[in-house]
């Protein structure tokens, strides 16, 4: 089975999302309901892995993406902290 290119996958996810942010529903190319900035949807990985399955991909606007990134970072930091705790035992 030939793997899709990122571009193909990305387009499929955007189509699945109806060209709207899957978190807040902001429409691609339209002013964002909160920030008023033109929405440019991006496709992100839900889990912090290289898993490119459609279930692990989501179309998000800039502000939802920023929140998602912050969440991911916190999760990573937490995981790193737990590993350090484990090493002390």
Interface residues with Zn ion (CB under 5 A) are: 21, 23-24, 26, 61, 64
Phi, psi of 32, rounded to the nearest 5 degrees: -65, 135
Nearest-approach distance from CB 82 to Zn ion, in angstroms: 30
Name the residue nearer to Zn ion (CB basis): 24 or 56: 24
Instruction: State which residue, 37 or 79, has the beta carbon closest to Zn ion.
Output: 37
Cβ contacts of 76 within 8 Å, gap of 6 or more: 48
At closest approach, how far in Å is the CB of 41 from Zn ion? Answer: 8
Nearest residue (CB) to Zn ion, 67 versus 81: 67
Least distance from C-beta 1 to Zn ion, angstroms? 32
Q: What share of the chain is helix, strand, coil (3-state, %, to 5)?
A: 45, 15, 40
Distances (CA, A) of 86 to 53, 74, 80: 32, 18, 10
């Amino acid at each position: 089975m030939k793997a899709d290119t990122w571009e193909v996958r990305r387009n499929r996810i955007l189509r699945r999302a109806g060209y709207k942010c899957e978190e807040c529903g902001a429409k691609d190319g339209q002013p964002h309901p909160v920030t008023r900035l033109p929405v440019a949807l991006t496709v992100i990985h839900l889990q912090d892995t290289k898993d490119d399955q459609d279930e692990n991909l989501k179309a998000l606007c800039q502000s939802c993406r920023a929140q998602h990134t912050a969440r991911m970072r916190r999760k990573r930091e937490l995981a790193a902290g737990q590993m350090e705790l484990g090493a002390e035992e």
